[in-house]
Amino acid sequence: MRHVAVIGSGPAGYYTAEACQKIFGDDVRVDIIDRLPVPYGLIRFGVAPDHQSIKAVAKRYETVALSGNVRFVGNVSVGRDVSIAELQSLYDAVVLATGAPNDRSLDVPGGALPGVVGSAAFVGWYNGHPDFAALNPPLHGPGAVIIGNGNVALDVTRILAKTRDEFAGSDIVGHALDALDHSGVKRITVLGRRGPHQIAMTPKELGELGHLQRATPVVEPADFPPLGDDALLEPGMRKSVTHLRDFIPMSATPKEIAVEFNFFAMPVAVEGEGRVERIIVERTRLDDQLRSIGTGERYVIPCGLVVACIGYQTPPIEGVPYEHGRGRFANTDGRILPGLYCVGWARRGPSGTIGTNRPDGYLIADHLAIDIGAGAAKQGREGLDALLTSRGVDVVNFRDWQKIEAAEVARARDGAPREKFVSLGDMMGARR
């Protein structure tokens, strides 16, 4: 029997378990350990609440979770309740599927002023992550600045711009819905340090901005390269840029909220008396390798909120080799050390779609087939259970999670799929 511990119950974790099932059949036992009492990681806490169709992939993970050879071991924190070394002594392989939940910091003067928040915190707030439920971001407006030209910047912008009605059918948590309902934000500036041809926004997500009830995207035609240059782009990127160009005529008919795209615009400082009041931006140009270079020309955007959507990193774990520049574990195709692996964003860094994690999971399972043979008669789950019981850890299993889930569904607003519990106490209480 092969015993595998996967740390993290997001997409990378579940695809790894699914791959192990496919490859090893009944000759494997996989424990998916999560520090939270609820599974699915990025699906629950990262994917936007108004993108329910993307969240539907959780049903696939549920099928994996309900099979006899895979367990969810929730409310167990690696490092606090059990160490990596202990897991390695109990399992043939330990796979870190811890994602990249930490923000990359905005390294400019004033970047830590109150009112500057990272996207992990902001997204965690509206998605009900217990770590960020109390964030209470300043929404007094009228200005808010979003830094970054990726899909997370688009998510944050859209959430700030939507009306209460537009959240119908979403699972945005009540505290965020109410706060956004009273928001005074009227101008959302999206800063890209490079140009329209260098965005990291996908077409569907960018297109949504053109169909909001009370917000209009505003772009500056002079920022665009000649139309003919779009033909050089790969098709997805060309579609995204076409959406941006479609925003040009919309810019002339503003609605209540303006979503202003500032390209070639790099944040250089955040200022204010004890909290954010303005951001200083430097205009940029591109060098011959398409990197942004400051031109020295600066301007000021008044704002009460800055959300830095500039990428994520994996939290380091003591004793596990880490690549600081890239914010992920040091690894060769997912292998870190003998018996220790990483997968998904913890392996690659924060890029790609949810589906990208599927081949990642299979890659790791293929490695395991070579590296651990038929297993080394380790204790596996029995050993872990004994250890956690001896330490008084209150483990949440998948049936417990299903009770929490049923309670969340039962208390949903009209038309919403669920109203998430946002505190660990409420989650733990709901399973009883």
Establish if 3 lies at the interface with ligand NAP (CB under 6 A).
no
Burial class from Cβ neighbours inside 10 Å (0-12, 13-18, 19+) for residue 155 reads buried
Establish if 150 lies at the interface with ligand NAP (CB under 6 A).
yes
What is the side-by-side order of every strand in the sheet holding 215-218? 116-118, 305-308, 143-147, 187-191, 257-262, 215-218
Which residues, in sequence order, are CB contacts of 3 under 8 Å at separation 6+?
28, 29, 31, 90, 91, 92, 93, 375, 378, 379, 380, 381
Which residues inside 202-261 make contact with ligand NAP, applying CB under 6 A? 202, 205
User: Smallest distance from the beta carbon of 265 to ligand NAP, in angstroms?
Assistant: 9
User: Smallest distance from the beta carbon of 79 to ligand NAP, in angstroms?
Assistant: 25
CB under 6 A: which stretch of 67-75, 149-157, 240-248, 250-258 binds ligand NAP? 149-157
Which residues, in sequence order, are CB contacts of 72 under 8 Å at separation 6+?
9, 32, 34, 39, 65, 396, 397, 398, 401
Establish if 127 lies at the interface with ligand NAP (CB under 6 A).
no
Establish if 41 lies at the interface with ligand NAP (CB under 6 A).
no
SS3 381: helix
Q: Which of 147, 173, 215, 241 binds ligand NAP (CB under 6 A)?
A: 147
Residue for token pair 């651990």: 372
SS3 201: coil
Which residues inside 343-372 make contact with ligand NAP, applying CB under 6 A? 350-353
Q: Which of 2, 29, 187, 194 binds ligand NAP (CB under 6 A)?
A: 194
Establish if 34 lies at the interface with ligand NAP (CB under 6 A).
no
> Nearer Cβ to ligand NAP, position 155 or 400?
155
Q: Which of 52, 102, 163, 198 binds ligand NAP (CB under 6 A)?
A: 198
Establish if 328 lies at the interface with ligand NAP (CB under 6 A).
no
> Nearer Cβ to ligand NAP, position 152 or 185?
152
> Nearer Cβ to ligand NAP, position 78 or 305?
305
Establish if 309 lies at the interface with ligand NAP (CB under 6 A).
yes
Q: Count interface residues toward ligand NAP (CB under 6 A).
A: 23
Establish if 103 lies at the interface with ligand NAP (CB under 6 A).
no
Burial 312-339 (b: 16+ CB within 10 A, else e): bbbeebeebebeeeebbbebeebbbeeb
Amino acid 382 reads E
d(CA 261, CA 263): 6
CB under 6 A: which stretch of 169-177, 199-207, 215-223, 410-418 binds ligand NAP? 199-207
Torsion of Cα atoms, 147 then 162 then 121 then 317, to 10°? -90
User: Smallest distance from the beta carbon of 200 to ligand NAP, in angstroms?
Assistant: 4
Establish if 310 lies at the interface with ligand NAP (CB under 6 A).
yes
Report which residue's Cβ sits closest to ligand NAP.
150
Structure tokens at 264: 């070639």
Establish if 149 lies at the interface with ligand NAP (CB under 6 A).
yes
Which residues, in sequence order, are CB contacts of 138 under 8 Å at separation 6+?
114, 115, 275, 276, 304, 305
Establish if 152 lies at the interface with ligand NAP (CB under 6 A).
yes
Q: Which residue ranges make up the site for ligand NAP (CB under 6 A)?
A: 147-153, 155, 192-194, 198, 200, 202, 205, 309-312, 350-353
